[in-house]
């Protein structure tokens, strides 16, 4: 039973080991980032709700959450762009059965504009595909990150307007993951009831809060047996975060376990399209409504363009 699972103890015992493992593995070096002041950081695309969707652990269904949430938001009248920010191993196009001709790598190489690369997905959502199997894009330089922001801001103006940008980050705490999270205005953490997923979600929040000053997060609990299970997961993570990290964690909601999700993946369709009356689809509709009901954080995080220009200058 869920209530017998010692979440706080699991977090406390394994957090230092997990974080040490991530840092010692060479996948993340703090030298890749600057010791940024929250007042100096910023946003992508003024006037747009820019939301990163992230997870400490792979396999929690994060990309599925992003795609279905974007479609659900589109059905509520919002113009959405999905950025596949798992730059070296992108798979949103595969999930939806799309075959893009170009990807963000072509933009960074100066071969194509963002407008050339963005494709249309279900229900009119826009998708900026990532490359797959390109090692160089898995760890962008500061100059490339600045280029991504510049291209996104240009596109957000030229495309006729966007309401929401959802950024599907890679899992874990790599420098790319940290970058896209601190570049966003809002951060949604996706986890499941599994203790390993919970521990890694906490580890991600710890890195973002203690190293980069992030203080506000939202939580989605995927693949729950009941709403009560999702709420209990939230309460345990929130309690630990409030006590040890001094962060605010708001509960956006949960997604019910549903075989329709697996069937839709096999069909390369979003579950909200393939099985609109399924339990998972109802969950996504509720999440989209809840996201729109919750006001974004007051103000912005600062001037990210200036922050990353400074980073580029220091590397030069």
Please report the domains of the chain, with CATH numbers, ordered by start residue: 2-20+36-309 (3.40.50.300)
Beta bridge partners of 51: 166, 186
Per-residue pLDDT, 245: 94
Separation CA 270–CA 64 (nearest Å): 8
User: What's the DSSP call for residue 123?
Assistant: G
Per-residue pLDDT, 46: 55
Question: pLDDT tens for residues 269-303?
Answer: 999 999 999 999 999 999 999 999 987 766 555 44
Per-residue pLDDT, 34: 37
Instruction: Using 70 as the pLDDT threshold, list the residues of the chain that sit under it.
Output: 1-46, 88, 132-138, 297-316
Give residue 194's Cα distance to chain centre: 19
Cβ contacts of residue 14 below 8 Å, gap of 6+? 199
Element housing 81 (H / E): strand 80-85
| Cβ–Cβ under 8 Å, residues 292 and 70 | no
What are the structure tokens assigned to 190, written together?
């996706």
Sheet holding 164-169, edge to edge: 119-120, 126-128, 80-85, 164-169, 49-54, 186-191, 216-224, 248-256
Per-residue pLDDT, 9: 41
Determine if the pTM surpasses 0.85: no
| Cβ–Cβ under 8 Å, residues 73 and 288 | yes
Burial of 29 (0-12, 13-18, 19+ CB in 10 A): exposed
Beta bridge partners of 224: 256
Per-residue pLDDT, 96: 95
Per-residue pLDDT, 208: 94
Per-residue pLDDT, 298: 61
Residue 160 burial (CB count, 10 A): 7
| H-type alpha helices, 48-173 | 62-75, 92-95, 104-108, 114-117, 142-158
Question: pLDDT tens for residues 183-221?
Answer: 888 999 999 999 999 999 999 999 999 998 899 999 999
Per-residue pLDDT, 44: 53
Letter string b/e over residues 65-88, b meaning 16 or more CB atoms within 10 A of that residue's CB:
bbbbbbbbbbbeebbbbbbbbbbb
| H-type alpha helices, the chain | 7-24, 62-75, 92-95, 104-108, 114-117, 142-158, 175-183, 195-210, 227-240, 259-267, 271-274, 279-293, 304-315
């Amino acid at each position: 039973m869920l209530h017998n699972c010692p979440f706080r103890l699991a977090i406390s015992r394994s957090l230092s080991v997990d974080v040490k493992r991530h840092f010692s593995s060479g996948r993340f070096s703090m030298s890749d980032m600057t010791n940024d002041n929250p007042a100096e950081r910023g946003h992508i695309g003024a006037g747009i709700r820019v939301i990163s969707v992230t997870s400490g652990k792979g396999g929690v269904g994060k990309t599925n959450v992003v795609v279905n949430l974007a479609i659900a938001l589109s059905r509520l009248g919002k113009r959405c762009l999905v950025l596949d920010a798992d730059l070296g191993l992108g798979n949103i196009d595969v999930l939806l059965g799309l075959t893009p001709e170009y990807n963000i790598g072509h933009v960074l190489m100066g071969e194509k504009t963002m407008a050339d690369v963005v494709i249309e997905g279900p229900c009119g959502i826009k998708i900026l595909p990532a490359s797959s199997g390109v090692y160089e894009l898995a760890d962008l330089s500061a100059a490339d990150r600045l280029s991504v922001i510049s291209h996104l801001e240009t596109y957000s103006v030229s495309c006729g307007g966007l309401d929401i940008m959802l950024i599907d980050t890679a899992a874990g705490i790599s420098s790319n993951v940290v970058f896209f999270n601190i570049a966003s205005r809002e951060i949604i953490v996706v986890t499941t009831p599994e203790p390993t997923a919970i521990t890694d979600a906490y580890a991600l929040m710890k890195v973002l809060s203690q190293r980069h000053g992030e203080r506000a997060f939202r939580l989605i609990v995927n693949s729950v047996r009941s709403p009560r299970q999702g709420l209990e997961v939230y309460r345990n993570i929130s309690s630990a975060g409030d006590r040890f990290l001094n962060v605010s964690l708001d509960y956006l909601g949960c997604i019910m376990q549903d075989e329709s999700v697996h069937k839709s993946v096999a069909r390369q369709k979003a579950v909200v399209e393939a099985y609109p009356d399924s339990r998972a689809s109802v969950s996504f509709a509720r999440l989209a409504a809840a996201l729109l009901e919750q006001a974004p954080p007051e103000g912005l995080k600062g001037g990210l363009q200036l922050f990353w220009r400074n980073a580029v200058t220091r590397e030069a």
